[in-house]
Amino acid sequence: MESLITRDDLGAGSARTLSRLDFSGRYLRDIEGKEVTYSDCTFSYSIIERGYFHKAIFINCKFIGARIRESIFRSATFENCDFSYVDFHRCVLPVPQILANLPGYPNVRWELLHNLRANAHSVGDTKWEADVVYHEARTEIEHWRGIANAGTGYYQKYSVRQRLAARFHHVRLLAERYIWGHGESLFRLALSTVFFLIIFSFFNSIGQVADLETVSIGALFHQYLKSLYFLSSLYIDLPSVSAAEVSASPITSVLAVTLRYVSIGLAIPVLYKYIARR
C-alpha cells in the first residue's frame, strides 16, 4: 500500500505567517505553504523540493543559491526578494513577480533569466517567454557595455582585447534589438525594413541627379519619391519594374533585393515562435 505524502508547513499553523526564520542550507521537502506569508525569511543555499506555495506571499526573503525543484508558486507574490544564483527546475512560477525582483548585477541577473527560460520550457509554459527574452537581451547588453567601458569593480579584470570584443557584442545586440526585437517583433522588423528602404531611396535619388548644385529642392524631392516608389516596387517584386530601371541603379537595386530576402528570412523564425506559443 502506498504511503501518503506528509507535508510540513514549517510552523505556519493557523496564523499562516512565518517571520524572521532562517532555513539556510536545509533540505525542505514536501512543504505546505499555501497562502502563507513569509516575512524576512532566509532560504539561501537550501534545497526545496515539491513545495506547494499557491498564493503565498514572500516579503524581504532571500533565496541566494537555493535549488528549487518541482514546486508550485502559482499566484504567489514576491516583494524585495533576492534570487541571486537561484536554480529553478520544473517549477510553476509567477514569472512577472520574479522579473520584478531581479538581481542588481547584470551577470547574476542574466543567469537567473536564462534559468527562468529553461524552467519555463521544462513545464511547457511559454506565456512569458517574450518578456524573459527581452530582459535577458537587455541585461546582456548592459553586461557587454560594462566590460567595454571598463567600469569599476567586477569589470576591471578584463583585458583590452576582451573589451574590444565586448564592444562588438554590445553593438550587435543593439542592432538586433532595433532591427527585429531580438527575434520577437514583426513590428520592429517592418519598421527597420521601411527605414532601410528610405535610406536606399535617398542614395538612389542622389545618383539620378546630374548636378546637385543646380537642381531645385522640389525637383530633388520629386526624384526621391520616384526612387522610393521604384525600390519599394523592386522590394515587393512588382512586375512594373523594368530591366532598364534596374540597370540604371545596379547598387541600390541589389540592396533592395537583398533586403527583401533578409527580411523574409528574419520574419520566418519570428512567425514560427508566435505560432508555437499559441
Taken in order of first residue, the domains within the chain and their CATH numbers are 1-102 (2.160.20.80), 186-277 (no CATH)
pLDDT at 4 over 70: no
Say which residues have a Cβ less than 8 Å from residue 254's Cβ, sequence separation at least 6.
Answer: none
**Is-contact 63 82, C-beta < 8 A?**
yes
CA 266 – CA 185 distance, rounded (Å): 10
* Sign of the dihedral through C-alpha 41, 47, 51, 53: positive
CA distance 164 to 171: 11
The residue among 137, 138, 121, 140 whose CA lies nearest residue 129 is: 121
Residue 66 has pLDDT above 90, yes or no: yes
160-180 and 250-277 are packed helices; what angle lies between their axes, rounded to 10 degrees? 80
Helix (H, G, I), strand (E, B) or coil at 48: strand
Backbone φ and ψ of 131, nearest 5°? -65, -40
Q: How many residues are given for the chain?
A: 278
How far is Cα 195 from Cα 249, in angstroms, rounded to an integer? 19
pLDDT tens figures, 253-275: 999 999 999 999 999 988 887 77
Say which residue the cell 531611396 belongs to. Answer: 201
Distance CA 84, CA 174 (A): 26
Asked whether the predicted pLDDT for residue 214 surpasses 90, the reply is: no
Taking each continuous run of H as one helix and of E as one strand, the counts in the chain are 8, 8
Q: What are phi and psi of 27, to 5 degrees?
A: -100, 105
User: Per residue in 109-165, pLDDT tens?
Assistant: 999 999 999 999 999 888 888 889 889 888 988 888 888 887 666 777 888 888 899
Question: Are the CB atoms for 198 and 192 separated by under 8 Å?
Answer: no
* Cβ-contact 241, 266 below 8 angstroms: no
Task: Check: CB of residue 123 under 8 Å from CB of residue 91.
Answer: yes
Question: Rounded to two decimals, what is the model's pTM?
Answer: 0.73
The pLDDT of 47-62, averaged and rounded, is 96
Helices within 76-185 (DSSP H only):
95-99, 106-122, 129-148, 160-180
Task: Tell me the residue type at 264.
Answer: I
> What is the overall mean pLDDT for the chain?
89
Beta bridge partners of residue 49, listed in sequence order? 29, 69
